[in-house]
């Protein structure tokens, strides 16, 4: 049998020829896609710094005043935010308070600024290129005009209007010898020297020195107010909430003293000791002031040797 020859038309031949280039293009395209990698996307986290003064601190946020910005800047902080001094040594978050100069390292998260590190500054702070800001402590001497919640006013000879100061938990109160005194004795009419810093338009008291000598009264009269610190040596008889009792050879009855957060505890060499060592039977010397009918301990010196007490 002879093979049958199929007729090839011109149209069929053209269809075969046109199909070949199309098949070749498909193979080349697949080869390119398999051997070419797209460049990987790169994510960047930029850390920026701001230098200024703490205006407000609390509720997971820090508000900072800077010279370069008309409005204060708000930063959020987290459990991973670190707090260090200028040498890089860690500091307690409790030291971060209003009025403190700081440098904040932060990153942007959406529309918010998240503080990653807060550097507490003790000296000069760089606020803008070519400019330096110093934190200065200034003093004012006068007479307490009014003392209230977180604020007090002082009348001075050099100012017609009383000056207003804000005080914080870190404000210290001492007598002229540098011995701590109770905040309770700071009252209207008391002559003082106030150490303060500027916080924006406000004045923040860092230390209040209670004067023992002459002060100027509001009406322009001169009057003398004395704060006397007295000492008693004896043996602790009892210690309880905010109060301890000391038995001495000079008194028939034990003497009761109140103590406050500003009361200091030291050994005979002047080295600080903890309040935990102050217990019944311990010989001590108590530095105290009178507050009405109360005796307020400003300093307790823990004695190392035995003090004999003659009971009566």
Pair (181, 218) in one structural domain: yes
Task: Please say which residue of 191, 224, 257 terminates a domain.
Answer: 224
Handedness of CA 195, 198, 201, 205 (dihedral sign): negative
97 in Cβ contact with 56 (< 8 Å) = no
Name the DSSP letter for residue 15.
Answer: H
Per-residue model confidence as pLDDT tens digits over 143-172: 898 888 889 999 888 778 888 999 988 888
Q: What is the pLDDT of residue 35?
A: 42
Pair (201, 246) in one structural domain: no
CA nearest neighbour of 228 among 217, 212, 216: 212
Residue 273 lies in a domain: yes
Please count the structural domains in the chain. Answer: 3
Q: How far is CA 251 from CA 230, 246, 311, 312, in A?
A: 15, 10, 9, 8
Q: Encoding tokens for residue 88?
A: 């890089």
Q: What is the pLDDT of residue 217?
A: 44
- List the beta strands (DSSP E) in 86-184: 101-109, 112-120, 125-128, 131-133, 138-148, 151-155, 163-175
With b meaning 16 or more CB within 10 Å and e meaning fewer, what string describes 84-100? eeeeeeeeeeeebbbbb
Name the DSSP letter for residue 162.
Answer: P
Q: What is the pLDDT of residue 19?
A: 53
Q: What is the pLDDT of residue 18?
A: 52
Residue 1 lies in a domain: no
Q: What is the CATH number of the domain that holds 237?
A: 2.40.50.320
Residue 198, domain extent: 138-224
Cα distance between residue 90 and residue 191, in whole Å: 39
Count Cα neighbours of 226 within 13 Å in the Cβ-side half-sphere: 3
Q: What is the pLDDT of residue 14?
A: 55
Does residue 266 sit in helix, strand or coil?
strand
Count Cα neighbours of 300 within 13 Å in the Cβ-side half-sphere: 31
Residue 101 lies in a domain: yes
Residue 18 lies in a domain: no
Q: Which residues are CB-contacts of 185 (< 8 A; sequence separation ≥ 6)?
A: 173, 210, 227, 289, 291, 296
Residue 151 lies in a domain: yes
Cα distance between residue 31 and residue 27, in whole Å: 6
288 in Cβ contact with 229 (< 8 Å) = yes
Residue 9 lies in a domain: no
Pair (112, 170) in one structural domain: no
What is the DSSP secondary-structure string of 165-223? Answer: EEEEEEEEEEETTS-B--GGG--TT-EEEEEEEEETTEEEEEEEEEPSSEEE-TTS-EE
Q: What is the pLDDT of residue 199?
A: 82
Task: Please say which residue of 224, 259, 286 terminates a domain.
Answer: 224
CA nearest neighbour of 278 among 302, 305, 262: 302
**What residues of the chain score a pLDDT lower than 50?**
20-36, 38, 42, 123-134, 213-225, 307, 309
Q: What is the pLDDT of residue 21?
A: 47
pTM of the model: 0.32
């Amino acid at each position: 049998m002879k093979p049958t020859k199929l007729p090839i038309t011109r149209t069929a031949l053209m269809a075969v020829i046109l199909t070949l280039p199309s098949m070749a293009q498909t193979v080349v395209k697949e080869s390119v896609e398999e051997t070419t990698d797209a460049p990987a996307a790169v994510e960047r986290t930029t850390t920026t710094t701001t230098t200024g003064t703490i205006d407000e601190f609390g509720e997971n946020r820090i508000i900072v005043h800077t010279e370069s910005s008309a409005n204060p800047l708000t930063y959020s902080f987290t459990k991973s935010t670190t707090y260090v001094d200028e040498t890089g040594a860690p500091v307690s978050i409790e030291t971060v308070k209003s009025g403190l100069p700081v440098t904040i390292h932060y990153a942007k998260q959406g529309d918010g600024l998240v503080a990653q590190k807060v550097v507490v500054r003790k000296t000069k702070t760089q606020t803008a290129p070519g400019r330096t800001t110093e934190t200065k402590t200034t003093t004012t001497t006068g007479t307490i005009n009014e003392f209230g919640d977180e604020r007090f006013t002082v009348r001075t000879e050099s100012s017609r209007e009383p000056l207003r100061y804000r005080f914080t938990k870190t404000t210290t109160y001492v007598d002229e010898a540098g011995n701590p005194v109770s905040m309770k004795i700071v009252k209207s009419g008391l002559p003082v020297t106030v150490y303060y810093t500027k916080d924006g338009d406000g004045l923040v008291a860092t230390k209040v020195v209670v004067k023992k000598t002459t002060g100027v009264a509001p009406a322009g009269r001169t009057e003398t107010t004395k704060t006397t610190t007295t000492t008693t040596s004896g043996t602790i008889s009892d210690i309880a909430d905010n109060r301890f009792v000391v038995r001495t050879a000079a008194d028939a009855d034990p003497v009761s003293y109140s103590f406050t957060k500003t009361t200091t505890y030291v050994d005979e060499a002047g080295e600080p000791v903890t309040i935990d060592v102050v217990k019944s039977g311990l010989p001590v010397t108590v530095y105290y002031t009178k507050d009405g009918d109360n005796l307020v301990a400003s300093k307790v010196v823990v004695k190392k040797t035995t003090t004999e007490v003659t009971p009566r």
